[in-house]
Amino acid sequence: MTDTNPTGTPVWFITGCSTGFGQALARNVLARGWRAVVTARDKARVASLVEGMGSRALALDLDVTDGAQIESAVAAATAHFGHIDVLVNNAGYGYQSSIEEGEEAQIRRQFDANVFGLFAMTRAVLPGMRARRQGHVINITSVAGLVGFQGSGYYAASKHAVEGFSDALAAEGAPIGIQVTCIEPGPFRTDWAGRSLYQTPNRIAEYAETAGARMQLTASVSGAQPGDPERAAEAMVQVTQLDAPPRHLVLGAIGFEAITGKLRSRIAEIEQWRATSVGADFPAG
C-alpha cells in the first residue's frame, strides 16, 4: 500500500496533465484532498487544476525529454512535499505509419518521449522511494504495449519497451517496497487522436488495407470511443490503495478482449512448439 504522511494525504507526481488521463487523474487525486505535483510542458495549461488548492497542489513545467527539467521538477516536488509516494508516467504521444513508411525523425522523437523520458523520470524519483523503502510507479502504456496493431508498429514498440522495463523494475523494486503497475487502456475518449497523434500518410498501395485502413479508423472514431477517462482515473487511484496491486491493469472492454485473446493465442502457439523448444537444449546426461 502506498505510504501516507501523518496527515493521511499521499503525494502524487503526474506527468502530462494538460489533457486526457493525466488531467482526469489530477482532478481525482486533488478532489480527495490528497497532494499532487501537476505537470505539463507549459504549466499555464494546468493552472485551472491547481486553482484554489493551496499548498496541496504544485504546478510545474516539465518536458520529459529534457533531463534538466526532470531533475529540477523532482527537486522542487521534494522540497515542497518532502517526498513522492506515487509516480505516474503519463506523458507521451502516438505515431502511426506502416513500418516501411515510418520516418526516422518521428520514430526517434516518439521514443524520446514515450521511452527515454519515462526511463529518466523514473530514475529521478527512485532514490527517494528507495530511501523510504516504499512507493508506487504507475506507467501508462496501452493495449499496444502487449499487442502490435497494423499501422502502429513504432508506437507499439515504444509501449512494449515500457512493459519490459516495468517487469524488471517490479522485480528490483519488490524487495525494497516499490510497487509497479502498468495501465493498459484500450480506446478512451481523451481526444488522443486529435491532440497527441502524428501520422505519416500511407502512400504505398500494398499497405492500404492494413496500416492505411487502421490509420483512417483511428482518426474517424476520435470522440466516440467507449472508454471513460474519469472511470479510468478512479481505477488507477484504487490500485494504489491495495496491499498487492496488479502488475497489469487493462482498462476498457475492447482492450480486455484484445489482450486476453492475444495472450491465449500466444500460449497455444508456444505450447504447440514445445518439443522443438525444449529440444534445443543439450541432451540430458
The predicted-structure confidence for 16-60, as pLDDT tens digits, reads as follows 999 899 999 999 999 999 999 999 999 999 999 999 999 999 999
Global pTM value:
0.93
Range of the domain at 200: 11-274
Does any domain span residue 4? no
Q: What are phi and psi of 89, to 5 degrees?
A: -85, 95
Does any domain span residue 265? yes
Query: Average pLDDT, stretch 239-267?
Result: 96
Query: Average pLDDT, stretch 268-272?
Result: 98
Does any domain span residue 284? no
Query: Average pLDDT, stretch 100-111?
Result: 97
Domain harbouring 207, CATH code: 3.40.50.720
Does any domain span residue 20? yes
Q: What are phi and psi of 242, to 5 degrees?
A: -95, 145
**CA-to-CA distance for 152 and 258, rounded, in angstroms?**
15
Catalytic residues, by residue number, are 155
**CA-to-CA distance for 224 and 191, rounded, in angstroms?**
9
Does any domain span residue 75? yes
Query: Average pLDDT, stretch 112-125?
Result: 98
Does any domain span residue 285? no
For residue 195, the model assigns a pLDDT of 63
Number of domains in the chain: 1
Does any domain span residue 3? no
Query: Closest by alpha carbon to 183, among 16, 11, 7?
Result: 16
> What DSSP letter does each residue of 184-201 carry, written as one string?
EE-SBSS-HHHHSEEE--
